[in-house]
Structure 1
Amino acid sequence: MTDRTTLLRPPPEDPNKAQIENALDVTELAVLGPNIFTNTRQPWHPPGARGIYGGAVIAMCLAAAQRTLASDFLVHSCHCYFLLAGSSELPILFHVEQVRDGRSFATRTVQARQRGRCIFTTTISFVRDSSFSSSSSSDTTNEDGISKKEEHKELAVRHASEIPRGEDGQPLRPPPDDYADEPELVAQGPFQGSPMTLVNRNSSKPGEKKTRQWVRARGRITGGQAAQLAALAYVSDSYFIGTLTRLHKLWRFPFRAEDLDELPSDLKEKVTTLHRWEGMGDDPREMVGRPTIGMMVSLDHTIYFHEPTRVRADDWMLTEMESPWAGDGRGVVMQKIFAKDGTLLATCVQEGLVRLQQPASENKESKL
């Protein structure tokens, strides 16, 4: 008997939903117990990766947890650990535990399991959306005619990072709505993106560099705010820990940069396209002599959703990534995600395992 990628036969994709919504759909398995879900469709396994795309697991865990809550609760933080590489050839079971249900906050933990082993775990906190409050609830005004609710809002602590500015001093602007300039090599999957920009590319200090890219889900998300938030969670893992390869100018392909000219022309063109797309420069041969990545694996991932009601993942969002620290075989990357109007939607942090390929030692002596 061959392994199945899903427990149940996947239904046809809903043409009224965005591609990302179909990809992140989860199915409840009440027959196995309360609050157990499974992936409806096969998750994506990036070429060359050890396992399935981590953003898909994060987002499906979030989607499963949201199914155990009323619609007026929206995620505000998500703390995740990647434990084992997930297989795209096996079904995933999402076990949701209802840790706490309060009047304003609710907490869920979710374990993603394959063959009885936990491959991923997350704790997710939700906050009740105040806009769902009954409009008939009593509210009084002060002597200036300002409602108590508005007065309370004005007294709240509030600030946010501003969207980065370009060389002209103006806030960065997104690509046009009809943007379609992605190379075919990267124009796949449920998200669309612009070429990546590497700020301070020539700096000798990796901590001074930043990557920036505009992204948006393809099509229109129709599943409400929970679907928009799951989509943001999905894309938050894209290029994340890999930022270190760009900040440190590390070679990441499975052959030496010195051998680029010996490759078949079509493969050479693909490498050059990816090199440019990721903001590394026009010519991959500039990487000759640079260190090579031996292993890079995400360890943990945190998302703080600052403005959950304002997330529109099917509209342009700007991602900005930088790294405050790397050492001891690990690295930390921080990410800010802005709406195109400048709203800071989310802040994300990821730590990953980062090991360089060590040069082969010469004149090894036999241990015999």
Structure 2
Amino acid sequence: MAKRVTLFEPPPLDASKAQIENVLELTPVVDIGPDVFTNSRPLWHPPGARGIYGGAAIAQSLAAAMRTVPADFAVHSMHCYFVLAGDSEVPIVYHVERVRDGRSFATRTVQARQRGRPIFTTTLSFSRANSGGKKQLNHATPMPDIPFPQEKTALKKVFDETGGGPFEAEKAGILNRDSVKPEEKRIRRWVRSRGTVTGGTHAHLSALAYITDSYFIGTVSRVHDIPRFSSPADLKRFLNALKNPSDLDDTDISRALKELKEEEAADLRRRLEGALDRAKDYKQQEDHKQVGMMVSLDHSIYFHNPWDFRSDEWMLTEMESPWAGEGRGLVVQKIWAKDGTLIATCTQEGVVRLKQDEPPRSKI
């Protein structure tokens, strides 16, 4: 008998909705309580990761909380902690607590549980639209002047929308790429949901939350020029992992390969052709660094303009890492809408540990 990875039989895909809306769909669990929800569909477990894609827990927790606030309230901040790795073969149950309801602000907490244990927790604050008054202070970091990605041909667009993941990404360059100071580098990407999101503001916010966790903590290793795959053997192991049917289906394999090609293949090729050719034996390099563990600890999103963007239009992300140390790293991400509006600022801290040299062996 096949394992059930959702509490209820997944409903048929809704062709009128974008793929990301179907992925993030929730089902109320009325037998437990009025503010309890569960994932309607199986959740993605990226190859090599300890658990499910964190963006799913972030986005579905936000979606659950938004169901408990008035329609004229929108989220303005969300502070999350990853407690345990999520198991893709076990349903997630989201418990929403209505902490406070005020005239201008409302507060919610959401705890995501598997097997009765919390795997993820978040506190969210919502503000009522137009509650800031007529006189306001306004400023925002402008969007960098970067050309938009070229639109694909009709045939290629149809293929991507039917054969890729719930969102797509295009590289937009690395500012200060040759700097010797990692904190000066800025990694930029264009991102957007595939298809047309039809669910209104809440659907666009959930989609944005889902996308924010993509390649986030990995920025720490990238600004240090440490590739995710530091040898051909590592890359081969990754590709073999993609063939595991218990983790991924054909769509997810295509998505992972596409992301690998777009985000890391060029850097990997450049480094392998240089560093690996210059030193056949890595152990002889005193300064060789290789990531041994990379896990997100917390994730915060400040939604600046929740009403003024579409997640299915190109959004520009810019990531930087102002600090790393003590086996951890911090990344800050800014996100602009297509028209240049700064729509969100995100932060993420995670464990970033390097593989350590083998301790000297005793001569006795």
The TM-score with structure 2 as length reference comes to 0.84
Distance 1:208 1:345, change over 3 A: same
Distance 1:273 1:242, change over 3 A: closer
Distance 1:326 1:34, change over 3 A: same
For residues 7-60 of structure 1, the C-alpha deviation after alignment (integer angstroms, 9 at most, x for no partner) is: 000001100000000000111111112211000001111111100000010000
> Which residues of 2 match residues 5-44 of structure 1 at below 5 A?
5-44=5-44
1:280 to 241, 244, 267: 267
What SS class does the counterpart of residue 202 from structure 2 fall into? helix
Deviation at residue 364 of structure 1 after TM alignment:
4.0
User: Contact 1:272–1:282 at 8 Å: present in 2 too?
Assistant: no
The residue number in structure 1 matching 2:106 is 106
User: Contact 2:299–2:349 at 8 Å: present in 1 too?
Assistant: yes
Is 2:99 the counterpart of 1:119?
no
The residue number in structure 1 matching 2:245 is none
Unaligned runs of 5+ in 2: 241-255, 277-281, 283-287
The residue number in structure 1 matching 2:152 is 178
Query: In 2, distance between residues paired with 1:273 and 1:118?
Result: 30
Give the counterpart letter for 1:69 in structure 2: V
- The structure having more radius of gyration, on CA atoms, is 1
User: Contact 1:82–1:300 at 8 Å: present in 2 too?
Assistant: yes
Deviation at residue 301 of structure 1 after TM alignment:
0.4
User: Contact 1:216–1:316 at 8 Å: present in 2 too?
Assistant: yes
User: Contact 2:227–2:268 at 8 Å: present in 1 too?
Assistant: no
Task: Count the aligned residue pairs.
Answer: 332
Moved more, 188-197 or 11-20: 188-197
Moved more, 222-231 or 194-203: 194-203
Deviation at residue 274 of structure 1 after TM alignment:
3.1
Unaligned runs of 5+ in 1: 134-148, 165-170
Is 2:229 the counterpart of 1:249?
no
For residues 168-195 of structure 1, the C-alpha deviation after alignment (integer angstroms, 9 at most, x for no partner) is: xxx21221343759x99xx731001112
Give the counterpart letter for 1:160 in structure 2: A
The residue number in structure 2 matching 1:162 is 142
User: Contact 1:257–1:287 at 8 Å: present in 2 too?
Assistant: no
Distance 1:230 1:259, change over 3 A: closer
For residues 278-307 of structure 1, the C-alpha deviation after alignment (integer angstroms, 9 at most, x for no partner) is: 363642413545411100000000000000
Distance 1:2 1:230, change over 3 A: same
What SS class does the counterpart of residue 340 from structure 1 fall into? coil
The residue number in structure 1 matching 2:244 is none
The residue number in structure 1 matching 2:179 is 203
Give the counterpart letter for 1:327 in structure 2: G
Query: In 2, distance between residues paired with 1:224 and 1:273?
Result: 27
The residue number in structure 2 matching 1:61 is 61
The TM-score with structure 1 as length reference comes to 0.83
Deviation at residue 70 of structure 1 after TM alignment:
1.9
The residue number in structure 2 matching 1:142 is none
Deviation at residue 260 of structure 1 after TM alignment:
8.0
Distance 1:276 1:221, change over 3 A: closer
Alpha-carbon RMSD: 2.7
The residue number in structure 2 matching 1:139 is none
User: Contact 1:43–1:88 at 8 Å: present in 2 too?
Assistant: yes
Fraction of identical pairs, as percent: 55
Query: In 2, distance between residues paired with 1:66 and 1:273?
Result: 30
Give the counterpart letter for 2:298 in structure 1: D
1:299 to 280, 297, 314: 297
Distance 1:162 1:361, change over 3 A: same
User: Contact 1:243–1:321 at 8 Å: present in 2 too?
Assistant: yes
Runs of 4+ residues deviating >4 angstroms = 258-261, 270-273
Distance 1:361 1:347, change over 3 A: same
Distance 1:235 1:272, change over 3 A: closer
Query: In 2, distance between residues paired with 1:200 and 1:162?
Result: 18
What SS class does the counterpart of residue 32 from structure 1 fall into? coil
Query: In 2, distance between residues paired with 1:208 and 1:122?
Result: 30
Query: In 2, distance between residues paired with 1:19 and 1:364?
Result: 57
